[in-house]
């Protein structure tokens, strides 16, 4: 992950929702500027209090876009310090990325979160966007009716899902693709493909 992190309770309150005692993004993401690894508290963070250097933030922290803060339709129980996971929208794919507190790796499987992630997957799939949960580098694709373990998903990889109908019925074809730079841009190479029968109307 190279998403930025921020724990500012004051400066990032543009949407009317404030971080308050939440500082989870300062733990779950890496910060390139400091070489801070994902999953460890930033040395500048006072957990539960905020950032100690908020007047001199790295650009990646200042630019962080927390979905709970910018999407009022997301209920209060999705506040990251309650949910134990942080939601963002990937700027290129528009996929919803759910990054789970490694100290609570099964948080996303609990009710009501898991059921709501499935609903989010259903509504987003109609728009061509996916919901992907990360616990560390391990990724799980949330589909409207099932979860698909993707294994380690790196920054160079993208995920594609298509619905395929054949003699055996309708299935999701899930592909993980490697992005590779070429002289005239980039190309995508298939790293893995799996098929998953649709279990209910998607």
Binding site for ligand SF4 (CB under 6 A): 5-8, 12, 19, 22-26, 31, 42, 44-45, 51, 53, 57-58, 61, 66, 68-69, 80, 86
- The minimum distance between CB 73 and ligand SF4, in angstroms, equals 16
- The minimum distance between CB 181 and ligand SF4, in angstroms, equals 29
- The minimum distance between CB 13 and ligand SF4, in angstroms, equals 9
Written as one string, the DSSP assignment of the chain is: --------SSTT-TTS---TT--THHHHS-BGGGTBPTTS--TTEETTTEETTTTS--HHHHT---HHHH-TTS-GGGSHHHHTEEEEE-TTT--EEEEE-TTSTTGGGSTTHHHHHHHHHHHHHTTT--EEEEETTEEEEE-SS-EEEEEE--TTEEEEEEEEEETTEEEEEEEEEEEEEETTEEEEEEEEEEEEE--S--
Q: Which is nearer to ligand SF4, 69 or 140 (CB)?
A: 69
- The minimum distance between CB 96 and ligand SF4, in angstroms, equals 14
Q: Which is nearer to ligand SF4, 136 or 191 (CB)?
A: 136
Q: Which is nearer to ligand SF4, 21 or 105 (CB)?
A: 21
Q: Which is nearer to ligand SF4, 34 or 148 (CB)?
A: 34
- The minimum distance between CB 87 and ligand SF4, in angstroms, equals 9
Q: Which is nearer to ligand SF4, 59 or 190 (CB)?
A: 59
């Amino acid at each position: 992950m190279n998403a930025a992190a921020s724990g500012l309770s004051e400066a990032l309150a543009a949407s009317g929702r404030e971080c308050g005692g939440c500082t989870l993004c300062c733990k779950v993401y890496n910060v390139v500027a400091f070489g801070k690894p994902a999953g460890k508290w930033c040395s500048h963070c006072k957990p539960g209090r905020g950032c100690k250097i908020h007047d001199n933030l790295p650009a990646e922290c200042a630019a962080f876009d927390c979905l709970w803060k910018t999407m009022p339709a997301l209920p209060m129980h999705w506040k990251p310090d309650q949910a134990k996971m942080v939601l963002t929208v990937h700027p290129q794919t528009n996929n919803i990325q759910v990054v789970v507190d490694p100290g609570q790796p099964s948080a996303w499987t609990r009710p009501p979160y898991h059921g709501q992630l499935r609903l989010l997957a259903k509504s987003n799939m109609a728009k061509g966007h996916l919901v992907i949960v990360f616990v560390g580098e391990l990724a799980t694709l949330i589909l409207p009716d099932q979860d698909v373990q993707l294994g380690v998903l790196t920054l160079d990889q993208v995920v594609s899902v298509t619905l395929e109908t054949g003699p055996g019925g309708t299935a999701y074809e899930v592909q993980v693709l490697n992005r590779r730079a070429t002289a005239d841009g980039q190309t995508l190479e298939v790293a893995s493909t799996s098929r998953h029968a649709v279990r209910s109307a998607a």
